[in-house]
């Protein structure tokens, strides 16, 4: 797996662990207008492959996300639903958690909590 937030320098990284029925995608670094197109392509490739039933997106190592990054996550959710795949977000805390709560985006996803309450 990728390192913690302190090790996420430069371009964003995506670590995928895929088994028969699920996938865990751990994002690390900045998700912004420069990195979102490549990230979108990686998500699209995941759904073109034999689909899993559940995709968990771990955002605990994301240091920054802008509106294009959020749009990419929403587009990922739309792609997943068209393939009957459940998407959940993990690792939301602090500023990212408040952003997703205040915009109402959190309610679109089946958020699972890993050590952080989303309330």
DSSP string, 57-108: EEEEEEEEE-HHHHHHHHHHHHHHHHTT-EEEEE---HHHHHHHHHTTGGGG
Tokens 């490549």, located at residue: 38
At residue 15, the pLDDT reads 86
Q: What is the pLDDT of residue 8?
A: 60
Query: What tokens were used for 4?
Result: 């913690």
The pLDDT of residue 9 is 53
Tell me what pLDDT residue 58 has. 95
List the pLDDT tens digit at each of the 119 positions of the chain.
Answer: 444 555 565 556 788 888 878 889 999 999 999 999 999 998 888 887 777 889 999 999 999 999 999 999 999 999 999 988 899 999 999 999 999 999 989 989 865 544 443 43
CA distance 48 to 62: 25
CATH of domain 12-108: 3.30.750.24
pTM metric for this prediction: 0.80
User: What is residue 33's predicted lDDT score, i.e. its pLDDT?
Assistant: 94
């Amino acid at each position: 797996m990728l390192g913690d937030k302190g090790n996420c320098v430069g371009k964003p990284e995506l670590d995928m662990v895929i088994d028969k029925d699920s996938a865990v995608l751990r994002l690390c670094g900045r998700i912004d207008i420069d990195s979102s197109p490549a990230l979108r392509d990686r998500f699209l490739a995941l759904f073109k492959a034999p689909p899993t039933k559940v995709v968990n997106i771990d955002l605990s190592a994301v240091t920054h996300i802008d509106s294009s990054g959020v749009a990419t996550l929403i587009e990922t959710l739309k792609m997943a639903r068209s393939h009957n795949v459940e998407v959940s977000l993990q690792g939301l805390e602090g500023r990212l958690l408040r952003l997703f709560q205040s915009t109402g985006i959190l309610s679109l996803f089946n958020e699972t909590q890993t050590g952080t309450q989303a309330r």
